[in-house]
Structure 1
């Protein structure tokens, strides 16, 4: 009985820790790289018509010729957060 109570308590604490930060954008995000919208700082124009928390993609070619896709999230202060970055393969093995 003590073990199941202890397990339940630990599980509840872990679950609470996972759910409390679900909607928070306080993370610094990924560091900008050349080609990122935020590479030289935040853009001067603010995205006033877009809702806070919305996201949008940006695709560019980095300095090594790789295709990069970044996903940005609009923070409450209208600054941009790089939430995800994906590098697309240069070639595919199943090309004909």
Structure 2
């Protein structure tokens, strides 16, 4: 029974991941419910300034390099209270830095 639960959890976790065959090696998409990492806009909480001119529901893209030097692309959605909700992240894992 314990093995079935472990395998089911692994299948669910891997179902949310996909590789990008578009010229980058090992780009991974991660879905909703992900936590901010260092470099994310909301890593240390919501930003002090609010996006007052952007419509609610707008997508805010953000790109940065993580602590391993990998390029990271994140998308946020503006919530009704003007906070940002992290909804997707893509980490480009090209070992030679050719994914730029």
What residue in structure 2 maps to residue 46 of structure 1? 50
For residues 48 and 87 of structure 1, what CA distance do their matches in structure 2 show?
29
Runs (4+) of structure 1 exceeding 6 A deviation are none
**If the length of structure 1 is used for normalisation, what is the TM-score?**
0.63
Structure with bigger RCO (C-alpha 8 Å, 6+ apart): 2
Corresponding residue of 1:72: 76
Q: Would you tell me which structure has more helix in proportion to its own residues? A: 1
The separation in 2 between residues aligned to 1:48 and 1:58, in whole angstroms, is 18
**In structure 2, how many angstroms separate the alpha carbons of the residues matched to 1:62 and 1:84?**
15
Q: Is the 8 Å Cα contact of residues 42 and 80 (structure 1) preserved in structure 2?
A: yes
Root mean square deviation, CA, Å: 1.9
Q: What are structure 2's unaligned runs of at least 5 residues?
A: 1-31
1:86 is matched with: 90
Q: Which has the larger radius of gyration?
A: 1
Alignment counterpart, residue 65 of structure 2, candidates 55, 61, 68: 61
- Total equivalences in the alignment: 66
What SS does the corresponding residue of 2:64 show, helix, strand or coil?
A: strand
Of residues 27, 30, 36, the one that matches 1:32 is 36
Q: TM-score, normalised on structure 2?
A: 0.61
Does the 8 A contact of 1:29 with 1:81 survive in 2? no
